[in-house]
Amino acid sequence: MSRSSITRRAVSVRCRAIAAAAFLLAGVSSPLTAQTPAEQAVRQVEDRRVKAMIDDDFAALDAVLADDLTYAHSSGALDTKASYLEALKSGKTKYLTFDRTPSVVRLYGDTAVITGAATLSLRGQAAPFSLRYTLVYVRRDGQWRMVAWQSTRLP
């Protein structure tokens, strides 16, 4: 085999490898970019919830949180909707920042499961901390309501 045919073969192999990698990466990134209208609606509600937490907009939070909410903090503490809102209203809990990395939304009929990570700071905490979370929204009477939050602090 001549040197030029070996070079052409190597270039061809590299081009196929690059094309395959691009194809695989497109498949990995598509859940983050291609969204159904329902996924977009869930993301919009979640964006409103986070903004309401930072802005102390208790009316907005009340509208988004389901009455049967279970909120398991990364500290292990557990809140209901009533106890969570009370902690925010009293100032016992005050979110200063809540910066999320891109999350994944999976829909199962009228249920949406969101998984992601965030770095947040709270009043009284020495430094921001990071966590992974899973939260669940359920569509009731045409509105997405958050029914569950579970987070784990990252090292």
C-alpha distance from residue 75 to each of 7, 110, 152 (Å): 58, 29, 8
CB atoms within 10 A of CB 46: 21
Query: Does residue 115 contact residue 103 with C-beta atoms inside 8 Å?
Result: yes
Would you state the pLDDT for residue 125?
83
Would you state the pLDDT for residue 1?
61
**Mean pLDDT in order along the chain per 10 residues (155 residues):** 53 46 39 78 97 97 98 95 97 95 96 97 90 98 97 95
For strand 111-122 and strand 78-79, is the pairing parallel, antiparallel, or unpaired? unpaired
Where do the H-state alpha helices sit in 34-141? 37-55, 58-64, 81-90
Would you state the pLDDT for residue 3?
55
Spatial CB neighbours of 63, under 8 Å, sequence gap ≥ 6: 143
Would you state the pLDDT for residue 124?
85
Query: Does residue 136 contact residue 147 with C-beta atoms inside 8 Å?
Result: yes
